[in-house]
Structure 1
Amino acid sequence: MTRLPEEPDRAASVGPAPKDAVSPPGEEPHQPGPTLWPQATADEARPDAAGPASAADEHAAAVRELEDRWRRALADLDNLRKRHARELERERMVERSRTAAAFLPVLDNLELALSHADADSGAVVEGVRAVRDQAVGVLEQLGYPRHAETGVAFDPAHHEVVSVVDDPDIEPGTVVQVLRPGYGDGDRQLRPASVTVAKRE
């Protein structure tokens, strides 16, 4: 059998189609292939919108931290001021107690002099009594009132029993005599009053 010669490849022999060539009927027009250069995406082309918001958040956080430090500093300052005020008041009380205690021997001597001079009505007695009253007033102004009452019930917060006496006409536990007055009250007491208390057999 005689073999016919093969026809050459038309696609290989025909050169590239011109740019303005028209595609034959029934065939789709030639589409250009994908470009080799990458194109910028929409996110890459758009400016960074998260930058200003992030900076604003950092600024707000810094402001909150500064405000917190400021409040803590104010609280520490207020606590320091209160502690200083308490310490100052305590020191004042100590000084007042020391000053008031220095008056006690003077008052004791005045009380002793008056106890031996009650029968006299001279100017000396009146002068001593005036000095005693003045000293008592100073102590009271310092916050240490005098306690030398008789006929009252015994109070361990203000009285110190030195002796007792039998007296059927007086209610037991009644203060019948004050041997040494007391000064002050509560935690500001310089000393209790030394008293004689009645009892009943």
Structure 2
Amino acid sequence: MAEREEGRPGGHDENRNEVAENEVAENEVDERVAELEGRWLRAVAELDTVRRRMAGDVERQRMEERTRVAAEWLPVLDNLELALRHAGDGALGPADAVIEGVRAVRDQAVAVLSRLGFPRQDVAGQKFDPALHEAVGAVPDRDAAPGTIVEVVRPGYGDAEHLLRPASVVVSTKAD
């Protein structure tokens, strides 16, 4: 009887071949699934990297635009400061209402710059820092330690991280 079963279609040899073929096909499918999963994971990681890079680019562009807009305000502020300085010297005569109006406009412009992320630097009396200040002069001063800012010629705007413009200052030196 064993002879008949071996020669008959659907015998043990054919079953073994079918099982072996199925195992090979399953292995190929498993390999293909693993390959596709790997490609999918790499694509997801790449998308996440692109998303982070784009967020950084957008923030950098926003800061560049804020800097450009704020820089446009600087000549206006400089002229207001100059007008107030001359008015305070009495050069314009008794024009108190005009002076107060100019002062209010200057204060408003300073507030706009501050909201844009560039606060005005009030540095008189502080230690000179070349990263934040620009020395335009030096004077001997017995009342101030050497390297102390004794006069602000032109105010600076911003902070150490985002400096729009350094303050132009006069620095004390050792008095004789």
Q: How would you bin the TM-score normalised by the shorter chain?
A: 0.7 to 0.9
Deviation at 1:95, TM superposition (A): 0.9
Q: In the alignment, which residue of structure 2 is the partner of 1:129?
A: 103
Give yes or no for contact 1:149–1:178 (8 Å, CA) kept in 2. yes
Deviation at 1:52, TM superposition (A): 2.1
Distance 1:87 1:125 in 2: 44
Normalised by the length of structure 2, the TM-score is 0.83
Pick from 45, 50, 60: which aligns with 1:75?
45
Higher RCO structure, 1 or 2 (CA under 8 Å, sep 6+):
2
Normalised by the length of structure 1, the TM-score is 0.74
Shift of the 45–168 alpha-carbon distance from structure 1 to 2, 3 Å rule, reads: closer
Shift of the 164–47 alpha-carbon distance from structure 1 to 2, 3 Å rule, reads: closer
Structure 1 residue identity aligned to 2:132: H
Deviation at 1:51, TM superposition (A): 2.2
- Name whichever of 155-164 and 94-103 sits farther off: 155-164
1:41-190 pair list within 5 angstroms: 43-44=12-13, 46=15, 48=17, 49-118=19-88, 120=94, 122-190=96-164
Distance 1:45 1:159 in 2: 89
Structure 2 residue identity aligned to 1:157: A
Structure 2 residue identity aligned to 1:105: P
Post-superposition CA distance 1:145-167 (Å, at most 9, x none)? 11132111111122111111112
Shift >4 Å, 4+ stretches: none
Structure 2 spans left out of the alignment, 5+ residues: 1-5
Shift of the 92–45 alpha-carbon distance from structure 1 to 2, 3 Å rule, reads: closer
Q: Secondary structure at the match of 1:194?
A: strand
Shift of the 172–43 alpha-carbon distance from structure 1 to 2, 3 Å rule, reads: same
Q: How many residues align?
A: 163
- Name whichever of 53-62 and 112-121 sits farther off: 112-121
Distance 1:81 1:87 in 2: 10
Shift of the 44–136 alpha-carbon distance from structure 1 to 2, 3 Å rule, reads: same
Shift of the 189–46 alpha-carbon distance from structure 1 to 2, 3 Å rule, reads: closer
Q: Secondary structure at the match of 2:165?
A: coil
Structure 2 residue identity aligned to 1:53: E
**Greater Cα radius of gyration, structure 1 or 2:** 1
